[in-house]
Copies of this chain bind each other. A is one copy, B any other.
Amino acid sequence: MPTVSSEELAAAAGVNSAKLRKDFSYLGSYGTRGVGYDVEYLVYQISRELGLTQDWPVVIVGIGNLGAALANYGGFSARGFRVAALIDADPAMAGRPVAGMPVQHTDDLEKIISENGVSIGVIATPAGAAQQVSERLIAAGVTSILNFAPTVLSVPDGVDVRKVDLSIELQILAFHEQRKAGEEAAAAGSAPAPSAPSGDGGVADAPGGAGAAPVAAVEPPAGRAAAALRKNGPEGEVPAVMPA
């Protein structure tokens, strides 16, 4: 397939073809009217614009469950990323091979970063260590961080941080799941719509109705802040679940 049309690409990606064309137009006019885009050329141009034609050395800090899995993952090198070093604070880990590469101690972090010209770091340490690790990475020259620890890192201007929080991903799914269940219940019975703008009621009040509805884990007990509660919602107050 030497060429593709914006329509074909858009269908494959599940987006609007106009949006796709406009996006491409920011990279220049690489298409041929009446024909489409030369696949090979387009791929190269996008790769180049995204920086994928370069080799990016990355370090992974925190070689535990997740860090080890990342180190073993082959998908990174396929996109031009090279794991330059694995770093852990545990002396017992030092020298031990993970994914065919010896784990190095945090003491050498700065040296490793500068010697390999690393500008992208991956943090897979416990949450408590993440901020400190990020500071050392940044001081050593790292300017982009992929953070798996469930903490908001505070970093200076010019440093990019992307946070991957798997719990939040699940929470988002659960939110929509709950809403689906609420809609089903509303459609079946006569319960009020569970949509957000409605004051309250719905969903949590009668969740048992829908198909695979989970059991209530936290029932609202009558608690201390009861005074404030009675005022607004019929719901009881509760031993909060949210803070992790």
- Point out residues on A near B: beta carbons under 8 Å: 13-14, 26-30, 32, 38, 40-41, 43-58, 65-66, 68-70, 72-73, 75-76, 78-81, 117-120, 141, 143-146, 150, 152, 158, 160, 162, 164, 166-167, 169-178, 180, 196-197, 199-200, 203-204, 207, 211-218, 220, 223-225, 228-229, 232-233, 235, 237-238, 240-244
Contact = CB atoms under 8 A, between A and B. Distances in A.
Nearest to A57: B214
Contact of A240 (B43, B76, B141, B199): B43
B228 A38 contact: yes
Contact of A28 (B45, B66, B232): B232
B175 A237 contact: no
B170 A26 contact: no
Contacts of A14: 152
